[in-house]
């Protein structure tokens, strides 16, 4: 164990000590709402919560219905008004602090991280470094093609086409007849890939993550590295679930950053006030 690692463990995350609990809270909340929705359809469950469904709680649903909303004033089938509200909240959060939703709230991201813990035990240091860097860089732009395809096909068909391949929907409805085979297949592939790659769905395919990532260059609060105090230990690089080379950047505005804050001086970096999430330049 290096000195930097020991220091990092001693100073472990006043910020990030809460992140696993926040993630678990939203995962359990979404699971509860989904199960209750299924029970309500069978005449059971909590009645006042029965109208809530995953479609109503998906901020990306607001994105894919924008074309129809502005052209006809209606929403795409299965998309609810709440999706538009959540979309706006997600965009406001992204403008202020980047993809906080991806790093702290999204249950699909949390689920991948949990599987990744098993992958780390199996593969050790090789975990999350098995995809050749040349291919990894190219694959990361695939999610933008997915986002464009989803928005285009939804506007053209006036139906929620992404639901047929959505692993998030499949994860919380795998027992339901509503889930398409495509969604279960994508979920299974994502689970397998999570054993060797951290957050594979987020990195390579998530259309909402792609939209959120567009705000990273312009967000108000940015991840900044103080080059004068940095000791180049690489702790921030190893901590980043998205494989961003934080130690080589002064301002981390990479489109893949999920604002998880795992690289900061409150978490991985052993030197105080060296990697910080802040508005304005470092001192």
For 169-212, write each residue's pLDDT tens digit: 999 988 888 889 999 999 999 999 999 999 999 999 999 999 99
Cα angle 10-225-231, degrees, rounded to a multiple of 5: 55
Question: Is the predicted pLDDT of residue 51 greater than 80, yes or no?
Answer: no
Asked whether 231 and 269 are in contact (CB, 8 A), the reply is: no
Helix and strand element counts for the chain (H, E): 14, 3
Length of the chain: 283
Q: How far is CA 242 from the centre of its chain?
A: 10
Rounded to whole angstroms, how far apart are CA atoms 240 and 105?
17
The pTM of this model reads 0.89
In this prediction, residue 3 has a pLDDT band, given cuts at 50, 70 and 90, of: low
Average pLDDT, integer, range 223-230: 92
In this prediction, residue 260 has a pLDDT band, given cuts at 50, 70 and 90, of: very high
The pLDDT assigned to 50 comes to: 60
The pLDDT assigned to 35 comes to: 83
Residue 224: strand, helix, or coil:
strand
In this prediction, residue 158 has a pLDDT band, given cuts at 50, 70 and 90, of: confident
In this prediction, residue 57 has a pLDDT band, given cuts at 50, 70 and 90, of: confident
Rounded to whole angstroms, how far apart are CA atoms 274 and 283?
10
Half-sphere exposure of 173 (CA within 13 A, CB side): 22
Higher pLDDT, 57 or 191: 191
Q: Count Cβ atoms below 10 Å from residue 88 Cβ, excluding itself.
A: 12
Written as six digits, the tokens of 42 are: 């069978």
The pLDDT assigned to 74 comes to: 85
Asked whether 211 and 60 are in contact (CB, 8 A), the reply is: yes
The pLDDT assigned to 240 comes to: 94
What confidence tens digit (pLDDT) does each residue in 108-135 have?
Answer: 999 999 999 999 999 998 999 999 989 9
Average pLDDT, integer, range 86-97: 94
The pLDDT assigned to 67 comes to: 83
Question: Is the predicted pLDDT of residue 13 greater than 80, yes or no?
Answer: no
């Amino acid at each position: 164990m290096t000195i930097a690692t020991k220091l990092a463990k001693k100073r472990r995350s006043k910020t990030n000590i809460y992140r696993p609990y926040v993630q678990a809270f939203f995962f359990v909340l979404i699971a509860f709402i989904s199960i209750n929705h299924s029970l309500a359809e069978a005449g059971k469950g909590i009645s006042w919560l029965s109208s809530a469904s995953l479609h109503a709680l998906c901020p990306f649903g607001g994105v894919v219905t924008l074309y129809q909303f502005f052209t006809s004033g209606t929403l795409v089938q299965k998309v609810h008004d709440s999706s538009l509200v959540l979309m706006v909240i997600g965009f406001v959060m992204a403008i202020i602090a980047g993809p906080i939703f991806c790093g702290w709230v999204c249950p699909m991201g949390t689920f991948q991280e949990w599987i990744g813990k098993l992958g780390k035990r199996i593969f050790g240091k090789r975990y999350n470094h098995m995809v050749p860097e040349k291919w990894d860089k190219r694959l990361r732009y695939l999610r933008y093609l997915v986002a464009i395809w989803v928005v285009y096909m939804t506007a053209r068909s006036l139906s929620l086409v992404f639901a047929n391949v959505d692993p998030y929907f499949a994860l919380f409805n795998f027992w339901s007849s509503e889930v398409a085979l495509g969604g279960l297949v994508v979920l299974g592939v994502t689970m397998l890939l999570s054993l060797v790659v951290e957050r594979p769905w987020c990195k390579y395919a998530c259309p909402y993550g792609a939209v959120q990532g567009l705000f990273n260059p312009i967000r108000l609060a940015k991840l900044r590295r103080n080059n004068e105090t940095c000791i180049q230990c690489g702790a921030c690089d190893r901590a980043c679930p998205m494989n961003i080379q934080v130690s080589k950047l002064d301002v981390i505005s990479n489109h893949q950053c999920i604002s998880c804050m795992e690289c900061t001086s409150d978490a991985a970096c052993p030197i105080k006030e060296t990697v910080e999430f802040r508005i304005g330049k470092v001192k």
